[in-house]
């Protein structure tokens, strides 16, 4: 295919994709981490507990220009993400010619992870930009040491240092690549290279200074706390996850390209091959090894993306030797993968889409429930006295409410999520980490709790801790979003709360989620409300009450599990629910738990299917 034709295709796909990304950036609710980065942008600093300062600075730039809006927060990242494929074109064109350059750029656009990069305000965007700037600078320096290339290298190194701790592995990959090249080793005698390296190293000082001032809290979280550092079989899934994230045919192509770098590592006239061998091996295979030792609980499938993009620059050389049908397969499967990811994000961007996903594992928890929670908090605050304090139970809810309500004073309670995501020290430094009633004085408080942020087995103990911290809990207002997949409890706490009414706990044991039934549903389970007791349990179907359960069945196993002793009544219930004239298909079965204190708490629903 002629270079001019490839250029036209690249520009057309790039422009179309940019419009699609713009729509997503405008439509998607803020991701949980984005909200915290936005909170950081309200308190500009050189470094924070979770990241260096660049992400917060970019968000502040966006909001200063565009206001307190999700698109304004994401706009700088959208622009930087749009630059990435052009850098791939620039690098590949310098090494392998015009046609290979546009072909590599097209592959970078079709790879779902890089093609949609910039939709979210995440530090990976400037970090990838920094990595490609460094790779491009090395490509120039291997030909001729020039001032502009040296300055570009210094800029890339500084941007990476201000972007993320993970840029340290990019540095290791770059150093490995440089040492694989004889000309690269010779560069180490060039004073201008050392000046660039020194400037890049100086950019790490703010992050190191923050850690020195905080007993190494950021380093400890990034490199110790969040990783088990013990062999784990979950690492066996890494190749499959990468194959799906990169798309299968492109994954095979990039692995073949890595193999090509090994075979051509000794070609003196083409130093790009050993350079890519070092960078690709560390950036891709290094993460493959770390998958057996490092964090597997949080999203990490995107970590090797810098290495994949480096290999994309050389992939057209390998692809040119493949049969036409195989080349077509790479482009078709990559485009399909990109469309699938876009379709998923488009579904998540709509409330009805998130609700549709609520019954499955594809539910987008980190995007969901925030608008509804903010609306409920606004309504509660409007009904409470002026000067009411707003307190959230975890950092993510606090950050989302801070963005939605445009407030800087939302305190956050101690919570396992704060420590799990490395935000507890930062909250304490800002003075937003609250011990509870002892910090609130005599002011009334609205306490917002993200109930589903804890697994069910830990909630009763969490309720007891809330009682101790607040001095007492009244019955909450319950907000179930997406059939209760996200659940919030709002407590109006006056200056003094007599007693403590812990929220109810319940469980439907039968039918199981997703069960099919052609006749009446035999519903059984348990419900309890510690210290107060349950008056009755109503059964709902598609949001409407259809039966009142027989409550009070003996369930000593449940009481023993929760550690409830004394003369507690039976907490089991059972009921028969007919589907009536409801058509076959999906239905949502739920509970309404009525406490003896007059509280009414709707429990999350589960999917059942009629036949």
Q: What is the pLDDT of residue 323?
A: 95
- Burial class for 379, CB neighbours closer than 10 Å (0-12, 13-18, 19+): exposed
Q: What is the pLDDT of residue 494?
A: 82
Quick one: which H or E segment has residue 489? strand 486-493
- What is the pLDDT confidence band of residue 585, given thresholds at 50, 70 and 90? confident
The residue that leads in pLDDT, 226 or 275, is 275
Alpha carbon 176 to its chain's center: 30
Q: What is the pLDDT of residue 227?
A: 66
589 and 608 Cβ atoms separated by less than 8 Å:
yes
Q: Rounded mean pLDDT of 124-140?
A: 95
Q: What is the pLDDT of residue 238?
A: 80
Q: What is the pLDDT of residue 498?
A: 67
Question: pLDDT, tens digit, for every residue of 186-219?
Answer: 888 889 999 999 999 999 999 999 999 998 888 8
Place of tokens 């995440």: 122
299 pLDDT exceeds 60?
Answer: no
497 pLDDT exceeds 70?
Answer: no
Quick one: which H or E segment has residue 157? helix 147-163
Separation of alpha carbons 260 and 276, rounded Å: 10
Q: What is the pLDDT of residue 212?
A: 94
Separation of alpha carbons 135 and 389, rounded Å: 50
CA distances, 171 to each of 91, 117, 131, 161, 343 (Å) = 18, 21, 8, 10, 35
Provide DSSP, 257-313.
Answer: HHHHHHHTTT-TT-THHHHHHHHHIIIIIHHHHHTTTS--SS--TTTTHHHHHHHHT
203 and 312 Cβ atoms separated by less than 8 Å:
no
Q: What is the pLDDT of residue 1?
A: 60
Q: Helix, strand, or coil here: 577?
A: strand
The residue that leads in pLDDT, 577 or 78, is 78
Q: What is the pLDDT of residue 564?
A: 87
Question: pLDDT, tens digit, for every residue of 402-424?
Answer: 999 999 999 999 999 999 899 99
Q: Rounded mean pLDDT of 32-59?
A: 96
Question: pLDDT, tens digit, for every residue of 308-346?
Answer: 999 999 999 999 999 999 999 999 999 999 999 999 999
Q: Among 249, 228, 469, 441, which residue's Cα sits nearest to residue 338?
A: 249
What is the pTM (predicted TM-score) of this model?
0.93
Question: pLDDT, tens digit, for every residue of 459-478?
Answer: 999 999 999 999 889 999 99
Question: pLDDT, tens digit, for every residue of 515-529?
Answer: 787 678 899 999 999
- What is the pLDDT confidence band of residue 499, given thresholds at 50, 70 and 90? confident
Most confident of 128-132, 224-228, 582-586: 128-132
Q: What is the pLDDT of residue 231?
A: 72
Q: Rounded mean pLDDT of 96-103?
A: 94
Vertex 45: Cα angle to 43 and 46 (nearest 5): 160
3-state secondary structure 507-534: EEEECCCCCEECCCEEEEEEEECCCCCE
394 pLDDT exceeds 80?
Answer: yes
- What is the pLDDT confidence band of residue 96, given thresholds at 50, 70 and 90? very high
Structure tokens given for 439: 């910090």
Q: Rounded mean pLDDT of 493-512?
A: 85
Place of tokens 């348990």: 526
3-state secondary structure 381-421: HHCCCCCCEEEECCHHHHHHHHHHHCCCCCEEECCHHHHHC
Q: What is the pLDDT of residue 524?
A: 95
Q: What is the pLDDT of residue 461?
A: 95
| Lowest-confidence region among 82-86, 168-172, 348-352, 368-372 | 168-172
Q: CA-based Rg of the chain, rounded to a whole angstrom? A: 28
Structure tokens given for 544: 């409407």
- Alpha-helix residue ranges (DSSP H) falling in 28-123: 32-41, 54-66, 70-96, 98-110, 112-115
83 pLDDT exceeds 80?
Answer: yes
Q: What is the pLDDT of residue 582?
A: 65
Q: Rounded mean pLDDT of 424-448?
A: 91
Separation of alpha carbons 304 and 68, rounded Å: 32
99 and 109 Cβ atoms separated by less than 8 Å:
no
Portion of the chain with pLDDT greater than 90, in percent: 72
- Burial class for 531, CB neighbours closer than 10 Å (0-12, 13-18, 19+): middle
Q: What is the pLDDT of residue 220?
A: 86
506 pLDDT exceeds 60?
Answer: yes
Q: What is the pLDDT of residue 119?
A: 97
Structure tokens given for 243: 């194959």
Q: What is the pLDDT of residue 562?
A: 93
When the pLDDT of each residue in the chain is averaged and rounded to a whole number, the result is 91
The residue that leads in pLDDT, 227 or 220, is 220
């Amino acid at each position: 295919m002629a270079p001019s034709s490839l250029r036209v295709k690249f520009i057309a796909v790039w422009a179309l994709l940019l419009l699609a990304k713009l729509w997503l950036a405008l439509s998607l609710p803020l991701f949980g981490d984005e909200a915290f980065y936005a909170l950081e942008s309200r308190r500009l600093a050189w470094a924070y507990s979770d990241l260096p300062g660049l992400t917060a600075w970019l968000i502040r730039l966006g909001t200063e220009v565009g206001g307190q809006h999700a698109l304004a927060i994401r706009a700088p990242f959208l622009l930087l993400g749009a630059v990435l494929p052009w850098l791939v074109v620039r690098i590949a064109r310098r090494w392998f010619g015009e046609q290979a350059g546009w072909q590599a750029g097209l592959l970078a656009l079709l790879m779902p992870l890089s093609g949609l990069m910039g939709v979210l305000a995440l530090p990976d965007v400037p970090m990838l930009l920094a990595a490609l700037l460094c790779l491009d600078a090395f490509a120039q320096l291997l030909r001729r040491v020039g001032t502009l290339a040296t300055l570009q290298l210094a800029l890339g190194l500084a941007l990476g240092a201000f972007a993320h701790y993970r840029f340290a592995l990019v540095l290791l990959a770059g150093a490995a690549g440089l040492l694989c090249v004889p000309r690269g080793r010779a560069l180490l005698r060039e004073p201008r290279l050392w000046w660039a390296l020194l400037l890049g190293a100086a950019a790490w000082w703010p992050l190191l200074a923050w850690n020195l001032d905080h007993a190494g809290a950021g380093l400890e979280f990034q490199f110790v706390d969040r990783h088990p550092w013990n062999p784990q079989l979950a690492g066996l899934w890494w190749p499959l996850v990468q194959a799906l994230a990169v798309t299968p045919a492109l994954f095979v192509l990039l692995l073949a390209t890595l193999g090509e770098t090994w075979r051509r590592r000794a070609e003196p006239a083409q130093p790009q091959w050993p350079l890519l061998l070092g960078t690709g091996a560390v950036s891709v295979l290094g993460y493959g090894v770390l998958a057996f030792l490092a964090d597997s609980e949080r999203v990490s499938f995107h970590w090797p993306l810098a290495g994949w993009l480096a290999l994309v620059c050389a992939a057209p050389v390998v692809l040119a030797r493949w049969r036409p049908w195989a080349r077509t397969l790479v482009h078709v499967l990559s485009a399909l993968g990109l469309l699938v990811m876009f379709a998923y994000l488009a579904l998540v961007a709509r409330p009805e889409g998130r609700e549709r996903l609520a019954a499955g594992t594809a539910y987008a928890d980190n995007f969901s429930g925030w608008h509804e929670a903010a609306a409920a908090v606004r309504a509660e605050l409007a009904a409470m006295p002026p000067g009411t304090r707003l307190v959230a139970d975890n950092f993510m809810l606090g950050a989302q409410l801070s963005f939605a309500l445009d407030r800087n004073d939302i305190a956050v309670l101690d919570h396992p999520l704060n420590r799990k995501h490395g935000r507890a020290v930062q909250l304490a430094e800002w003075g937003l980490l609250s011990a509870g009633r002892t910090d609130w004085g005599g002011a009334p408080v609205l306490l917002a709790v993200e109930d589903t942020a804890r697994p069910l087995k830990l909630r009763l103990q969490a309720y007891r801790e809330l009682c101790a911290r607040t001095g007492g809990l009244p019955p909450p207002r319950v907000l179930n979003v997406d059939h209760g997949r996200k659940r919030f409890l709002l407590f109006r706490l006056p200056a003094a709360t007599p007693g403590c009414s812990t929220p109810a706990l319940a469980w439907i044991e039968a039918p199981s989620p997703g069960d099919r039934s052609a006749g009446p549903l035999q519903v059984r389970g348990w419900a309890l409300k510690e210290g107060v007791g349950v008056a009755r349990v109503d059964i709902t179907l598609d949001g409407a009450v259809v039966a009142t359960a027989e409550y009070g069945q003996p369930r000593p196993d449940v009481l023993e599990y929760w550690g409830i002793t004394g003369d507690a009544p039976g907490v089991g219930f059972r009921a028969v629910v007919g589907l009536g004239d409801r058509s076959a298909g999906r239905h949502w079965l739920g509970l309404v738990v009525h406490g003896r204190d007059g509280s009414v708490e709707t429990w999350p629903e589960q999917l059942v299917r009629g036949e």
